[in-house]
Each structure stands twice: as C-alpha cells, then as structure tokens.
Structure 1
C-alpha cells in the first residue's frame, strides 16, 4: 500500500477509472434490479460513470498504484447536484451509447435517476456520486482511503456529506465512518430498487435529517 496515491483525476485517468468503478458496480443490487441483463447493465454503467467522471472533473479522485488506477470516487461539490440541463447536454457523447444500446430500457434508468434527484437534500451537501474499487484490488482499504481523503477536507470546510447506496451491506460500512440514514431504506419510486440515503455531518456537527 505504500505506493498507493489518492489524487485528483486527470484526463488520462478517466477511462481506467470508469472501468474500475463499473467492474465494482456490476453486481450492485440496485443496478441488477433495474437492469437484470448483464450486458445492458454494463452499457448503462459505462455511460453513466463515464459521464459522472467527466462532469466532476478535478473533484473526482482516483487511487493509483504506480500507473494503474485501482479505484475512483466521484464527488460533486455543494450546489453542483442535481446536474443542470446544460451539463447533461455537454455529456451527450457519454450518454448516447446507453440510449442506443438500451432503447426503451433507458426509461428505467431515467426513472431511477429522476427519483434520486427528487430525493436529494435541499441543503448544500458534498455528494458522493460514485465510489468503486476494481474487484481484484478490493479488501486492501482502497475504498476507505478514497472516502477518508475527502471526508477530512469536508470536515475542515464544515461540509455535510451525502450519498445513497443500493447495497444493504454498505449501510454499516458507511455508518462506521459517521454516516446516518436520513430515511428508512426503501424504493424511491414505485417498482424501484431499495435505496438507503445517508448523511454525514462535519466533525463536531449535529446530524440533520432531510
């Protein structure tokens, strides 16, 4: 682990960071619910994670050992999420392969995205949009490093941090790092997958529910 560095993503990191995160999310319960077909799921994740990384720019972080990207965290600064229409239009080159590849199934992905946006806190928060470590590199504490690197900076800035996860086992992992559920886990829209929304107040703050 001594050669592992967490740093802002640069242009050359985007594709390997996307691939690491997509591999990490390939069996995520929320995504298997929305897109049971593995090929469709991979198409959607490649498009959405690729767009998120490009959209976040230097706010995205990568974990790199030597020249190999092992994991990525996509952070959106306060006020940068939900994504504006202008930013979505700029991201069309990333998103178009999903629309073409999924056809009508794109609507299922859009329904989940709209539900996530509708449930997003009204107060300014730092948003953990994506966190993923390549399966071969998991179990080495890389996810914790990617998370803690931003949490330290958010504590210093007095920023609350927000996320949602569709994986029940992640709830305890995030809770151990100061996150608390802001609502009981459940579907954000009829027929959607269960999701857990979690918020972490900056160190010394008081948890606030939204």
Structure 2
C-alpha cells in the first residue's frame, strides 16, 4: 500500500538497523512514558540509543520488522503462538547495561506488559515509530494496513499497548479495542492494552468480540 507521499513498505534487514535507530530514538524521545522513564531529556537520548539498539536487534532476530522505502518509519512485530518462554537472564543483563541506573523502571514496565499480555495466540506490535518529520502524513497507518492485510489473511488477532491517548485513538480507528488502562506505578502514566479481533480470512467483517481478558500477576 502507498500513501500520497509515494512511499511503500518492505521488510527491514540487518543493514537497515543503523539508519533506523536514530529515527526510533527521535520518535519515542518525548511523551508521558518517556518523561516517567528518564526525566532528564539529555540522559534519555543517550539511554534510548542503547535501549532501542537492543530492541531493534531483538525484533530483527526473533520477530519481523517492517519499514518504509525511505526508512522514515518502523514497526516491530512478534508472533505469539503459545505461552511466552521464561525470561532470558541474558536479556535482563543486556537491559541493565543499556539502561543503567534507569533499568529498574524498564524492568517494571516489562513486568506490567507481561502480566497483562493476552495468553491466546496473536501477533504482537511491540513498537510503531514514525520520524517526527513524517508524522501526520499517514505513514504509520500505511505500516498498520500492510501488517493487518497479512494478519487478516491468516485470521489472526493482534495486540499492542498504546502509550498515550493520541496513539490509542489511532489504533481505535484501525479496528483495535481498548481495555482498561494499566500503570507500572502510581507515578507512571496510563497505558492501554489494545486488541484487534481477527477477520474471517480477510474477506469479511471483523469478528466482534469484547476486549479479551488478560493474564494477571498473582
């Protein structure tokens, strides 16, 4: 699918990581979650370069990464077909190294995501980022349409967490249902679990379901 800018979508590969990284950092640098994770914006940029280098590498190795033909946007997806594997100690160590003194907040956020993640098979959108210079031009929607077409052909649902009301409303327009907001702590901003029901092979109406129940920590 293309938008009026003439861009297209392709699967990202390892050589794309270097140009995609600064775009990811810029896209996520400001916002309520970013302000809570790392209050100092200068420190945040430094930590985000290490953090998103790790997240992009994980997506390329264990999921799939869609990007635009000009590398102005990126979507990192994972397939969830069964219960997630136990936490990898190596990943925790990598996160500690990447985030330094702020690692505890990142671990807390991961724990909240894991505790609220739907247990049934689905495709998980971990990150959707658009270069600030390209925001508001339909680029994010283009990446969503591209992924949803493939997902619908397999009649699979999709899941994500929205980090602010603007993103939540975008996903609502793309067929997602918002669950009750969740917080990593009393000081943390709300995040919305969002579920997109599958279609009957991409040719019919979406299966209408309520927001499915989430796994809760004991």
Q: Say whether 1:28 aligns with 2:31.
A: yes
Q: How does 1:72-83 map to 2 (within 5 A)?
A: 72-79=74-81
TM-score (norm 2): 0.82
Residue in structure 1 matching 2:45, options 21, 35, 42: 42
- Is the contact made by 2:112 and 2:183 (CA closer than 8 Å) also made in structure 1? no
How has the CA–CA distance of structure 1 residues 9 and 92 changed in structure 2, closer, same or farther, with 3 Å as cutoff?
A: farther
TM-score (norm 1): 0.84
Distance 1:81 1:28 in 2: 31
SS at match of 2:69: strand
How has the CA–CA distance of structure 1 residues 138 and 2 changed in structure 2, closer, same or farther, with 3 Å as cutoff?
A: closer
- When the two structures are aligned, how many residues end up with a matched partner? 201
Distance 1:81 1:38 in 2: 36
How has the CA–CA distance of structure 1 residues 194 and 82 changed in structure 2, closer, same or farther, with 3 Å as cutoff?
A: farther
* Worse-matched range after superposition: 17-26 or 46-55: 46-55
Listed as ranges, the gaps of 5+ residues in structure 1 are none
CA deviations over 1:72-94 (Å, ceiling 9, x no partner): 000011238857544x626966x
Q: How does 1:156-167 map to 2 (within 5 A)?
A: 156-167=153-164
Distance 1:125 1:116 in 2: 15
Corresponding residue for residue 14 of structure 2? 11
RMSD: 2.4
SS at match of 1:207: coil
How has the CA–CA distance of structure 1 residues 172 and 32 changed in structure 2, closer, same or farther, with 3 Å as cutoff?
A: same
SS at match of 2:72: strand
Corresponding residue for residue 64 of structure 1? 69
Listed as ranges, the gaps of 5+ residues in structure 2 are 200-205, 214-218
Structure with the bigger percentage of helix: 1
